[in-house]
């Protein structure tokens, strides 16, 4: 009679085999997320100290635009040689960007640091996803991605107040510099798992053409803001930059995305417009609370905390709704809430109403993002097959980042134009966000065909 082999224990995310890697990856995601929320809190102070209000919008657009280049480059490199080297380069670029920002003598230098941050952050996100596929067994991957979602939510709860405290006690530079050592420690936790990965190099061609289009789009977006904020003949060159952005996006996104053609193109267009409208508002909410209503950075930053909680809560609501709310319906509700929030924010700022109403309007927009934003990813996957799933996933991320970057670049132009004319510069910025929200609602109404065969077949659980 032969002995029966004992059952193998189920792998656990925090078992000795995976605990260090899990903690390190969670920390890296959290640090990238912390920088996103912390910078929004302290950037009005930074722009004032460095006499760089004219580059305020560009400091937000820069990492979003350059992040697309990092995503494309890291994806191609990881496919050919594995994630270890591209992850190391991503961490180096992200850390170098933090150092440049933390020591920047001028706003121009800080924007350059933000470009490096974006390159590293975009590449880092792609590399971590590749690591999940190589290191963790299939049954643990949903839990890993859930931890990534939590890593983005937690900084929204504590990041704004912590950033305001650090800026008040140590100075705004330490909001950047203080993260560098922490990034190095987190990377040390992930490194042993990467050394255990055995991946044979492949001859898969590197996506050079796609990388060049991404680079062109990023440069054109930044040039659009820089040139468009000037006067005279340079405005014509801004038009050239705009055309280059459109041409590049036509090569990076599925055909018909820019006109929200029915089905998948409208889904990806909805994602880009959601990001464009919401992040245009987010970049200025703390700024307007401080400038218009004399709120302290810590009090103004509470708006980011509240919206992070509401975003996460709305995401859970749409997830639990499952089949009761189809993907197209969730996108329509999400875009409608974002539009309602931006309309309210515009009216509150224009009429000089109570700042609590401005925060409430922003929170409504955050609820829309939580409800509609995750479903764009699920609807994209439902409309994709084996032959185009990778391209469509990449296109969704590109639309997300470049949509936000282009909206922020445009917001810098309208802010500068209003300031030169002696008008309230915040009203046209939030009006721009409202216009983008209208386009988002229209795009969402055309997204139904993308998930027609699989409405409600899956639901999103990520914030």
Instruction: Over range 418-422, report the average pLDDT.
Output: 91
Whole-number pLDDT of residue 456: 39
Instruction: Over range 190-199, report the average pLDDT.
Output: 73
Mean pLDDT of the chain: 86
Whole-number pLDDT of residue 452: 44
More confident site: 150 or 343: 343
Whole-number pLDDT of residue 231: 67
pLDDT at 328 over 50: yes
Cα distance between residue 324 and residue 196, in whole Å: 44
Is residue 361 within 8 A of residue 344, CB to CB? The reply is yes
Q: Most confidently modeled of 71-85, 121-135, 403-417?
A: 403-417
Which of 45, 46, 128, 55 lies closest to 86, judged by CA? 128
pLDDT at 30 over 50: yes
For 268, the token pair is 């990806």
The least confident of 63-77, 196-210, 340-354 is 196-210
What's 254-454's CATH class?
Answer: mainly alpha
More confident site: 419 or 147: 419
Please state, as a whole number, how many other Cβ atoms lie within 10 Å of the Cβ of residue 196: 10
- Cα–Cα distances in angstroms (integers) from residue 309 to residues 305, 315, 335, in the given order: 7, 10, 18
Question: Which residue is it, tokens 């209503």?
Answer: 293
Whole-number pLDDT of residue 457: 37
Please state, as a whole number, how many other Cβ atoms lie within 10 Å of the Cβ of residue 449: 17
Handedness of CA 46, 216, 280, 236 (dihedral sign): positive
Instruction: Over range 112-122, report the average pLDDT.
Output: 93
Q: Is 421 helix (H, G, I), strand (E, B) or coil?
A: coil
Is residue 313 within 8 A of residue 394, CB to CB? The reply is no
51-71: per-residue pLDDT in tens? 999 899 999 999 999 999 998
Question: Which of the four pLDDT bands, split at 50, 70 and 90, describes residue 278?
Answer: very high
Whole-number pLDDT of residue 280: 94
Question: Which of the four pLDDT bands, split at 50, 70 and 90, describes residue 357?
Answer: very high
Question: Which of the four pLDDT bands, split at 50, 70 and 90, describes residue 94?
Answer: very high
Q: Is 294 left (phi over 0), alpha (psi -120 to 50) or beta?
A: left
367-382: per-residue pLDDT in tens? 999 899 888 888 887 8
Whole-number pLDDT of residue 461: 36
Whole-number pLDDT of residue 454: 39
- Cα–Cα distances in angstroms (integers) from residue 360 to residues 117, 291, 341, in the given order: 31, 18, 8
134-149: per-residue pLDDT in tens? 788 877 776 777 777 7
Q: Most confidently modeled of 129-143, 321-335, 428-442?
A: 428-442
Instruction: Over range 258-278, report the average pLDDT.
Output: 95
pLDDT at 463 over 60: no
Whole-number pLDDT of residue 48: 92
Q: Which architecture, in CATH terms, is 15-196?
A: Up-down Bundle (1.20)
pLDDT at 449 over 60: no
Whole-number pLDDT of residue 126: 82
Whole-number pLDDT of residue 171: 92
Instruction: Over range 342-357, report the average pLDDT.
Output: 97
Instruction: Over range 188-198, report the average pLDDT.
Output: 77
Whole-number pLDDT of residue 458: 37
Q: Which long-range contacts (CB under 8 A, 24 or more apart) does 44-53 make?
A: 44/286, 44/287, 44/290, 44/291, 44/297, 45/167, 45/172, 45/297, 46/107, 46/110, 46/172, 47/107, 49/172, 50/104, 50/105, 50/106, 50/107, 50/110, 51/107, 52/106, 52/107, 52/108, 52/110
More confident site: 22 or 69: 69
pLDDT at 13 over 50: yes
222-260: per-residue pLDDT in tens? 999 888 877 666 677 888 999 999 999 999 999 999 999
């Amino acid at each position: 009679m032969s002995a029966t082999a004992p059952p193998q224990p189920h792998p656990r995310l925090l078992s000795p085999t995976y605990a260090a890697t899990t903690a390190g990856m969670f920390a890296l995601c959290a640090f990238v997320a912390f920088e996103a929320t912390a910078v929004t809190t302290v950037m009005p102070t930074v722009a004032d100290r460095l006499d760089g209000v004219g580059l305020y919008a560009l400091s937000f657009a820069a990492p979003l635009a350059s992040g697309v280049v990092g995503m494309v480059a890291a994806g191609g490199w990881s496919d050919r040689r594995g994630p270890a080297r591209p992850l190391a380069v991503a961490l180096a670029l992200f850390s170098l960007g933090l150092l440049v920002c933390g020591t920047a003598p001028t706003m121009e230098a800080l924007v350059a640091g933000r470009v490096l941050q974006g390159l590293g952050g975009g590449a880092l996100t792609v590399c971590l996803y590749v690591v999940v596929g190589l290191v963790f067994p299939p049954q643990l991957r949903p839990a890993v991605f859930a931890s990534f979602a939590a890593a983005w939510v937690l900084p929204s709860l504590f990041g704004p107040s912590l950033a305001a405290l650090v800026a008040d006690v140590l100075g705004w530079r330490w909001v950047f510099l203080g993260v560098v050592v922490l990034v190095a420690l987190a990377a040390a936790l992930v490194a042993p798992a990467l050394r255990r990965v055995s991946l044979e190099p492949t001859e898969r061609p590197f996506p050079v053409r796609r990388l060049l289009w991404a680079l062109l789009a990023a440069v054109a977006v930044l040039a659009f803001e820089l040139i468009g904020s000037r006067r005279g003949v340079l405005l014509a060159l801004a038009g050239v930059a705009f055309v280059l952005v459109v041409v590049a996006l036509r090569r990076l996104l599925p055909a018909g995305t820019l006109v929200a053609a029915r089905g998948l193109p409208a889904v990806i267009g909805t994602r880009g417009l959601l990001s464009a409208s919401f992040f245009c508002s987010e970049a200025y909410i703390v700024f307007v609370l401080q400038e218009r209503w004399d709120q302290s950075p810590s009090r103004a930053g509470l708006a980011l905390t509240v919206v992070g909680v509401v975003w996460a809560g709305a995401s859970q609501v749409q997830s639990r709704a499952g089949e009761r709310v189809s993907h197209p319906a969730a996108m329509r509700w999400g875009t409608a809430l974002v539009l309602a929030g931006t309309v309210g924010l515009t009216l509150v700022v224009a009429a000089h109403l109570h700042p609590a109403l401005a925060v409430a309007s922003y929170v409504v927009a955050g609820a829309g993002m939580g409800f509609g934003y995750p479903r764009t990813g699920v609807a994209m996957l439902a409309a994709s097959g084996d032959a185009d799933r990778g391209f469509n996933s990449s296109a969704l991320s590109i639309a997300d980042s470049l949509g936000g970057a282009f909206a922020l670049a445009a917001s810098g132009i309208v802010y500068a134009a209003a300031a030169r004319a002696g008008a309230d510069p915040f009203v046209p910025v939030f009006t721009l966000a409202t216009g983008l929200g209208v386009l988002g609602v229209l795009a969402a109404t055309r997204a139904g065909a993308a998930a027609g065969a699989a409405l409600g077949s899956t639901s999103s659980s990520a914030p």
